[in-house]
């Protein structure tokens, strides 16, 4: 694998190989007795502080500025309004017209609606709406009424219904 | 040992080793041929949605960081932590943030939340935050055992216990997220602690500092290529030039000189100059083994006769003198009596730690080295105190006069019952709430265990104080 990396002709190709295998070429590999899985010391500074703690702070605790892909948390008022609409029972998407996206996400969280992985992009409003509708309809066990109204939502709503 | 931590760690199998978590690693590394797209396409929303701290929480944390009093040698986390403005944090900064700042801030923020007693979805969030906090504390405990100045089979075992518990807590919090390779690697550190000794001897802090030093050298934007060499294709490939060779040579020369000064064959003239070298270049030893040796060092330094000048002595305040007399009655020190005069120090170094009196220093540095933790009697728990005065007195021992160093301190009083201490759950953390009220003057000697403290106001009249105890 490392030789594959060495033989790669461009940086992009090397990056791709590294992404796939997690292995890069090292000059030490030319030493015949050197076994990379056994002759390595894990460095305390990099491993503990620059990896573990950094990962913990940024990902687990969530200590970082909100990236563009993520919506800010909904305010309490917004959530109160959104819950009211939800409690009334949904039949049409237009009922949720006045509810803003953060509050919609809040509703999804409260009602355990799973959403597709946005893969770094912002979730589309229509996708969230469709997911909420599916959830509501499945609550009413009135599956037949539901039609795939959104092209983007089609693939995964289908898997969800199964 | 602390009950809550035990509860957290007991569920994890003791014998589990690195392999136990191997299945949690990204599968892409295991099988090269299968290009495995992310295993699950749907992520439970509550994982992602409540992962991030709210703006309010972030602001509180930033405010807490700027309110913290820490020793000068500890580089605190950036004031704008968590925003893009703070840039990339350094290893030292991550270190201080996990050692004190973040756990304390989180305890403060989230223990407040529990008391409001909301219901429904909020319960879930609180539960999740509680789990996140527990996991933060587990990581803190693991790092505490790993980064101690001492190491032993026990240190390694404790580190492994907490690290496993921490990884289990991550799996619990994010069942759909793969662990990273660094989590896997961390499980090998326990073994290395036993094999290579204290982590300070083999971690990368000193190397990084040399890299930093090299980067700072002004080379006028020239790559040090020697043109004679560059004509030769082989040397051009290495492109090692005059500048680099000079640097390498002087680096090796300096290293050899140091080695020479330490060896027995060293000529006396060089040995007599060796302390100059130390004075000029011995300062920057943070995070190296040398630093540890000094901190752990026995009292060899103190065996020297003390050359003092009575003209420089000052009268001790009556209040402190009373305490000194009481102290001399309670424990007698050989060849020493409680005199009325002593040599006062604004700042004094005790086993590598600079301790300063509370009134010393300018606005920004005042008090940063005056809040200490000390051990009142052997095997007792460390207690926090403020240093009021530091002074030396002569002491007759082994036929010569030596320096005996005393600290006049005020202890912080323990918390009254009306304030609940949320840190009681995490006694392994080493930090607790203390009342801001100070006790009467007491005298301690420099031979007692002393370490610096980080502190932060908690609420009116209450401080959170945490010992930076790297020695246990």
Q: For B212, how many CA atoms within 13 A lie in the half-sphere containing its CB? A: 8
Q: Does residue B409 belong to any structural domain of this protein?
A: yes
- In order along its 472 residues, chain B shows pLDDT tens digits of 344 555 555 544 444 444 455 555 544 333 332 233 333 333 344 444 455 677 788 888 888 988 898 888 888 888 877 776 677 788 888 888 898 999 999 888 887 665 555 555 667 777 788 888 889 999 999 999 998 888 889 999 999 999 999 999 988 888 877 888 889 889 999 999 999 888 888 888 888 888 888 888 777 766 655 445 445 555 544 555 677 778 888 888 888 887 887 777 778 887 777 777 766 665 555 556 666 665 655 444 556 677 778 888 888 888 888 888 888 888 777 778 888 888 888 888 887 788 888 887 777 777 788 899 998 888 888 889 999 999 888 888 777 788 888 899 999 988 877 778 888 888 778 788 888 889 899 998 888 888 899 999 988 888 899 988 877 6
Which chain B residues are Cβ-neighbours of A132 within 8 angstroms? none
pLDDT of residue B240: 56
Residues 136-155 of B with CB under 8 A from A: 136, 139, 143, 146-147
Cα(A132)–Cα(A136) distance, rounded to whole angstroms?
6
From B201, B223, B243, the end of a domain falls on: B201
Strands A115-116 and B42-43 turn out to be: antiparallel
Check whether residue B190 and residue B266 sit in a common domain.
Answer: no
Quote the domain boundaries for residue A113. Answer: 76-161
Q: Does residue B334 belong to any structural domain of this protein?
A: yes
A61 with B208: Cβ contact below 8 A: no
Check whether residue A80 and residue A156 sit in a common domain.
Answer: yes
Quote the domain boundaries for residue B213. Answer: 205-286
pLDDT of residue B156: 93
User: A55 CA to chain B: closest CA distance, Å?
Assistant: 9
Check whether residue A103 and residue A154 sit in a common domain.
Answer: yes
Check whether residue B210 and residue B255 sit in a common domain.
Answer: yes
pLDDT of residue B25: 52
Residue with the larger pLDDT of the pair A18 and A110: A18
Chain A interface includes B89 (CB < 8 A): yes
Cα(A119)–Cα(B221) distance, rounded to whole angstroms?
41
Check whether residue B195 and residue B116 sit in a common domain.
Answer: yes
Check whether residue A85 and residue A144 sit in a common domain.
Answer: yes
Q: Does residue B84 belong to any structural domain of this protein?
A: yes
Chain A interface includes B181 (CB < 8 A): yes
For residues A148 and A155, the answer to whether their CB atoms sit within 8 Å is no
Query: What are B49-95's pLDDT values in tens digits?
Result: 455 677 788 888 888 988 898 888 888 888 877 776 677 788 888 88
Check whether residue A114 and residue A57 sit in a common domain.
Answer: no
Check whether residue B67 and residue B104 sit in a common domain.
Answer: yes
Q: What is the DSSP letter of A62?
A: -
End-to-end CA distance of chain B: 14
Q: In the 3-class helix/strand/coil scheme, how is chain B assigned residue by residue?
A: CCHHHHHHHHCCCCCCCHHHHHHHCCHHHCCCCCCCCCCCCEECHHHHHCCCCCHHHHHHHHHHHHHCECCCCCCCCCCCCCCHHHCCCCHHHHHHHHHHHHHHHHHHHHHHHHHHCCCCHHHHHHHHHHHHHHHHHHHHHHHHHHCCCCCCHHHHHHHHHHHHHHHHHHHHHCCCCCCCHHHHHHCCHHHHHHHHCCHHHCCCHHHHHHHHHHHHCCCCCCCCCCHHHHHCHHHHHHCCCHHHHHHHHHHHHHHHHHHHHHCCCCCHHHHHHHHHHHHHHCCCCCCCHHHHHHHHCCCHHHHCCCCCCHHHCEECCHHHHHHHHHHHHHCCCCCCCCCCEEEEECEEEECCEEEECCCCCCCCCCCCCCEEEECCCCCCCCEEEEEEEEEEEEEEECCEEEEEEEEEEEEEEECCCCCCCHHHHHHHHCEEEEEEEEEEEEEEECCCCEEEEEEEEEECCEEEEEECCCCC
Q: How does residue A156 score in pLDDT terms, banded at 50, 70 and 90? A: very low
Substitution target in B41, B45, B80 with the highest count of A β-carbons within 10 Å is B45
Q: Does residue A69 belong to any structural domain of this protein?
A: no
pLDDT of residue B259: 80
Check whether residue B160 and residue B213 sit in a common domain.
Answer: no
CB-nearest to B45 from A60, A65, A113 is A113
Check whether residue A139 and residue A85 sit in a common domain.
Answer: yes
pLDDT of residue B379: 80
Check whether residue B137 and residue B73 sit in a common domain.
Answer: yes
From B201, B218, B248, the end of a domain falls on: B201
Contacts by residues B424-428 (CB-CB < 8 Å, ≥ 24 positions apart): B425/B2, B425/B4, B426/B2, B426/B4, B426/B5, B426/B103, B426/B107, B426/B137, B427/B2, B427/B5, B428/B1, B428/B2, B428/B5, B428/B137, B428/B141, B428/B144
Check whether residue B213 and residue B193 sit in a common domain.
Answer: no
Cα(B451)–Cα(B59) distance, rounded to whole angstroms?
30
Substitution target in B119, B146, B203, B209 with the highest count of A β-carbons within 10 Å is B203
Which chain B residues are Cβ-neighbours of A109 within 8 angstroms? 45-46, 49-50, 121
Q: Does residue B297 belong to any structural domain of this protein?
A: no
Check whether residue A96 and residue A56 sit in a common domain.
Answer: no
Check whether residue A56 and residue A93 sit in a common domain.
Answer: no
Q: Does residue A112 belong to any structural domain of this protein?
A: yes
Percent of chain A residues past pLDDT 70, beyond the cut: 72
Check whether residue A96 and residue A51 sit in a common domain.
Answer: no
Check whether residue A136 and residue A81 sit in a common domain.
Answer: yes
Which chain A residues are Cβ-neighbours of B51 within 8 angstroms? 59-60, 62
DSSP structure string for A82-109: HHHHHHH--SSGGGGTTS-HHHHHHHHH
Query: What are B133-159's pLDDT values in tens digits?
Result: 889 999 999 999 998 888 889 999 999
Cα(B427)–Cα(B425) distance, rounded to whole angstroms?
6
Q: Structurally, how many domains does chain B consist of?
A: 3
Q: What is the DSSP letter of A22?
A: -
Check whether residue A80 and residue A148 sit in a common domain.
Answer: yes
Average pLDDT over residues A37-57: 86
Q: Does residue A71 belong to any structural domain of this protein?
A: no
Q: Which two tokens stand for residue B277?
A: 């070298």
pTM beyond 0.90, yes or no = no
pLDDT of residue B46: 45
Name, of A67-71, A112-116, B55-59, B288-292, the range with top average pLDDT: B55-59
Q: Does residue A86 belong to any structural domain of this protein?
A: yes
Check whether residue B388 and residue B416 sit in a common domain.
Answer: yes
pLDDT of residue B219: 73
pLDDT of residue B421: 83
**Could you give the 3-state DSSP secondary structure of residue A140?**
coil
Check whether residue B189 and residue B216 sit in a common domain.
Answer: no
CB-nearest to B182 from A55, A106, A112 is A55
Check whether residue B57 and residue B197 sit in a common domain.
Answer: yes
Q: Does residue B472 belong to any structural domain of this protein?
A: no
Q: Does residue B266 belong to any structural domain of this protein?
A: yes
Cα(B355)–Cα(B342) distance, rounded to whole angstroms?
17
Check whether residue B186 and residue B214 sit in a common domain.
Answer: no
Check whether residue B102 and residue B223 sit in a common domain.
Answer: no
B53 with A61: Cβ contact below 8 A: yes
Residues 21-40 of B with CB under 8 A from A: 28-29, 32, 35, 38, 40
Q: Does residue A126 belong to any structural domain of this protein?
A: yes
Q: Does residue B326 belong to any structural domain of this protein?
A: yes
Q: Does residue A133 belong to any structural domain of this protein?
A: yes
pLDDT of residue B48: 46
Q: Does residue B14 belong to any structural domain of this protein?
A: yes
User: A48 CA to chain B: closest CA distance, Å?
Assistant: 7
Q: Does residue A67 belong to any structural domain of this protein?
A: no
Check whether residue A47 and residue A107 sit in a common domain.
Answer: no
User: A144 CA to chain B: closest CA distance, Å?
Assistant: 23
Check whether residue A144 and residue A107 sit in a common domain.
Answer: yes
Q: Structurally, how many domains does chain A consist of?
A: 2
Residue with the larger pLDDT of the pair B122 and A95: A95
Nearest alpha carbon to residue B349 among B307, B396, B390: B390
A44 with B84: Cβ contact below 8 A: no
Nearest alpha carbon to residue B160 among B25, B30, B21: B21
């Amino acid at each position: 694998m490392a030789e594959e990396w060495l033989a790669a002709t461009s940086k992009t190709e090397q990056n791709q190989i590294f992404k796939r295998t997690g292995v890069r070429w090292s000059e030490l590999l030319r030493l015949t007795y050197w076994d990379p899985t056994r002759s390595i010391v894990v460095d305390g500074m990099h491993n503990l502080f620059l990896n573990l703690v950094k990962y913990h702070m940024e990902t687990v605790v969530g200590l970082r500025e909100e990236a563009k892909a993520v919506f800010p948390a909904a305010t309490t008022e917004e959530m109160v309004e959104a819950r009211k609409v939800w409690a009334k029972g949904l039949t049409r998407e237009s009922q949720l017209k006045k509810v803003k996206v953060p509050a919609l996400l809040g509703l999804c969280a409260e009602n355990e609606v799973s959403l597709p992985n946005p893969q770094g992009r912002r979730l589309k409003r229509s996708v969230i709406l469709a997911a909420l509708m599916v959830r509501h309809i499945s609550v009413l066990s009135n599956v037949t009424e539901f039609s795939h109204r959104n092209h983007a939502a089609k693939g995964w709503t289908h898997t969800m219904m199964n | 040992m602390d009950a809550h931590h035990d509860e957290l760690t007991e569920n994890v199998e003791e014998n589990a080793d690195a392999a136990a978590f191997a299945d949690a690693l990204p599968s892409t590394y295991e099988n090269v041929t299968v290009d495995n797209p992310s295993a699950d396409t749907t992520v439970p929303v509550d994982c992602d949605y409540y992962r991030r701290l709210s703006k309010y929480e972030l602001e509180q944390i930033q405010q807490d960081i700027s309110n913290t009093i820490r020793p000068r040698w500890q580089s605190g986390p950036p004031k704008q932590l968590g925003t893009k403005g703070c840039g990339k944090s350094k290893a030292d900064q991550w270190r201080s943030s996990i050692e004190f700042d973040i756990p304390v801030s989180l305890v403060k923020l989230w223990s407040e939340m529990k008391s409001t007693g909301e219901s429904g979805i909020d319960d879930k969030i609180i539960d999740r935050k509680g789990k996140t906090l527990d996991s933060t504390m587990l990581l803190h405990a693991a790092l505490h055992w790993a980064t101690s100045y001492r190491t032993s089979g026990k240190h390694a075992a404790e580190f492994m216990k907490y690290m496993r518990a921490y990884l289990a807590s991550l799996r619990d919090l994010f069942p759909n997220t793969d662990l990273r390779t660094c989590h896997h690697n961390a499980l090998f550190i326990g073994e290395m602690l036993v094999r290579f000794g204290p982590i300070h001897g083999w971690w990368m802090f000193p190397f990084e500092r040399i890299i930093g030093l090299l980067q700072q050298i002004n080379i006028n934007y020239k790559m040090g290529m020697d043109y004679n060499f560059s004509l030769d294709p082989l040397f051009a490939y290495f492109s090692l030039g005059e500048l680099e060779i000079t640097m390498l040579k002087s680096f090796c020369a300096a290293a050899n000189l140091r080695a020479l000064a330490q060896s027995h064959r060293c000529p006396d003239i060089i040995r007599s100059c060796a302390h100059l070298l130390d004075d000029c270049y011995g300062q920057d030893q943070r995070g190296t083994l040398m630093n540890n040796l000094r901190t752990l060092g026995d009292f060899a330094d103190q065996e020297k006769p003390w050359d003092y000048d009575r003209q420089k002595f000052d009268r001790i305040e009556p209040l402190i003198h009373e305490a000194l007399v009481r102290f001399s009655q309670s424990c007698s020190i050989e060849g020493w009596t409680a005199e009325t005069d002593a040599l006062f120090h604004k700042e004094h170094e005790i086993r590598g730690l600079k301790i300063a009196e509370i009134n010393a220093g300018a606005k920004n540095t005042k008090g940063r080295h005056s809040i200490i933790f000390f051990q009142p009697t052997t095997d007792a728990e460390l207690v926090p105190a403020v240093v009021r005065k530091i002074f030396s007195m002569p002491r007759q021992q082994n036929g010569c006069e030596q320096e005996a160093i005393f600290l006049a301190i005020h202890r912080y009083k323990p918390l009254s019952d009306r304030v609940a201490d949320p840190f009681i759950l995490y006694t392994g953390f080493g930090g607790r709430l203390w009342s801001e009220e100070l006790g009467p003057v007491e005298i301690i000697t420099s031979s007692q265990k002393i370490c610096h403290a980080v502190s932060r106001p908690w609420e009116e009249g209450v401080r959170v104080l945490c010992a930076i105890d790297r020695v246990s």
